[in-house]
Amino acid sequence: ETLHARDMALLHLRTIEALAMAIDAKDQTTHDHLQRVQVYATEIAREMNLSPIEIEGIQAAAVLHDIGKLAVPEHIISKPGKLTPEEFEKMKIHPVVGAEILERVQFPYPVVPIVRSHHEKWDGTGYPDGLKGKEIPIGARILSAVDCLDALASDRQYRKALPLDLAMEKVAALSGTCFDPAVVAVLNRRYQELEAKARTEPTTTSALSIHVPV
C-alpha cells in the first residue's frame, strides 16, 4: 500500500508537470513565473494554517490554473493591447474549461475548485460564478491575489513589469474589493521574503523545444 501510494503521488506529480508544459507551449508569458506563483501561494497557505491536503491542492493549482487558455484563440492570448468586450468574454471561459480538463485527472486533493474560482472577486464581481467573500474557496482567494501580484511584476505583451513594491501597492489597494483582506495582509507582510525564496527555488519543469529551427 505504501509503494502504491508513492507511485500514485509520483504519477500525479508527472501529470502536473506535463500539463504545466502544455500551458507553456500555448502561453509563453507563464514559463518563468509559474514557480513564483507556486512558492508565494504555498507559503501563504501554510501561514494561514490550511490543511496538508489543501496545500497540495494549491501547489498543483498554482501551476495549472491557466490550462483552460488552451481553448482561447491564439490572437486573444497574444494580443498586445486591451481586449475588446467580445475578446474578454472568450477569455473568461478559461477557468471553466480548465476545471473541466482537470476533473479528468481526479486529483486526490482539491485542485478543480481553485482553478474554477481563481478569477472570482471578494466583492462578488468576478467570474465565472459571481461568488462572494468566503463563498470563494480559500485556495482560490490566495491564488488570485498572488497571481495578480505576479502579473503586475512581470513583463506582458501590452506593458513592462512594474517594480515589485509598486505591484504590491496596487494589490493592497484592491484588498476588500477584489481580494480577501486576510490574504493580502499576509502577502503584504511577506512578499519580499517570498520573492527571494522564489528566485532561489530550483525549476521543476523545462521548456519545450518550440523554438528549434526546422
pLDDT tens-digit readout, 112-143: 999 999 999 999 999 999 999 999 999 999 99
Looking at the DSSP bridge assignments, the partners of residue 159 are 156
Prediction pTM value: 0.88
With a CB cutoff of 8 Å and minimum separation 6, the contacts of 19 are 63, 64, 67, 101, 102, 105
Assess contact for 107 and 115: CB atoms under 8 A. Answer: no
What does the DSSP 8-state code read for residue 212?
Answer: -
- Better-predicted residue by pLDDT, 80 or 55: 55
| pLDDT over 90 percentage in the chain | 61
- Burial class, 168, CB count within 10 angstroms (exposed 0-12 / middle 13-18 / buried 19+): buried
- pLDDT at residue 103 tops 80: yes
Sign of the CA dihedral 199, 203, 208, 213? positive
Q: Output the pLDDT for position 26.
A: 67
Hey, what's the cell of 162? 512594474
What confidence category does residue 147 fall into, taking pLDDT thresholds of 50, 70 and 90?
Answer: very high
Q: Output the pLDDT for position 128.
A: 97
Tabulate helix, strand, coil % of the chain (nearest 5): 65, 0, 35
Maximum distance among all Cα pairs of the chain, rounded to whole angstroms: 53
What confidence category does residue 206 fall into, taking pLDDT thresholds of 50, 70 and 90?
Answer: low
SS3 state of residue 112: helix
- What is the C-alpha to C-alpha distance for residues 172 and 170, in angstroms, rounded to an integer? 5
Assess contact for 95 and 127: CB atoms under 8 A. Answer: yes
Q: Output the pLDDT for position 70.
A: 87
Q: Output the pLDDT for position 200.
A: 87
Q: What distance, in Å, lies between the first and last C-alpha atoms of the chain?
A: 47
Q: Output the pLDDT for position 159.
A: 76
- What is the C-alpha to C-alpha distance for residues 13 and 44, in angstroms, rounded to an integer? 21
What confidence category does residue 187 fall into, taking pLDDT thresholds of 50, 70 and 90?
Answer: very high
CA angle 136, 161, 129 (to 5 degrees): 20
Residue 117 phi, psi (nearest 5): -105, 10
Which amino acid, 97?
Answer: V
Q: What is the mean pLDDT of the chain?
A: 88
What confidence category does residue 174 fall into, taking pLDDT thresholds of 50, 70 and 90?
Answer: very high
Sign of the CA dihedral 43, 46, 47, 50? positive
- pLDDT at residue 170 tops 60: yes
